[in-house]
Amino acid sequence: MAHGDIGCDPRMSMSGGQIQAAAGSSSTSSAGASEQYLPITHLLRHLSHFKALAAERELANTSIAPLVRKLTFDQGLTTLLDKFGWHPAHGFTTTLDLAGLKGALQKYKYIKMGQLGSGSYGVVHKAVNRETHELLAIKKVAHSSEYGLSDSTIREISTLRELTHENIVRLKDIIATVNGQHVHLVLEFLDCDLRQYLDTYPQASEIGRIKSIVLQILRGVRHAHMNSIMHRDLKPQNVLIGVAKNQVKITDFGLARCFLPNADRAYTERVVTLYYRAPELLLGAPTYTSAVDLWSVGCIMAEMVNFEPLFKADNEIGLLFHIFEKLGTPNKDVWRELPGLAHFSDQFPSFPGKPMQEVRGIWPCPGQGVGAR
Instruction: Name the CA dihedral angle for 207, 212, 213, 218, rounded to a multiple of 10 degrees.
Output: 120
**In the chain, what is the straight-line distance between the N-terminal and C-terminal CA atoms, in Å?**
48
Kind and range of the H or E element at 38? none
Distance CA 203, CA 206 (A): 5
Q: Is 140 annotated as a binding residue?
A: yes
- Note whether 355 and 349 are within 8 A (CB): no
Enter the DSSP assignment of 289: -
The SS3 of residue 359 is: helix
Q: Give how far the C-alpha of residue 80 lies from the chain's centroid of Cα atoms, to the nearest Å.
A: 30
Q: Is 233 a catalytic residue?
A: yes
Distance CA 271, CA 54 (A): 43
Q: Which of 97, 191, 193, 233 is catalytic?
A: 233
The SS3 of residue 366 is: coil
Distance CA 209, CA 248 (A): 11
Residues that constitute the known binding site for ATP: 140
Residues that constitute the known binding site: 140
Q: Which residues are catalytic?
A: 233
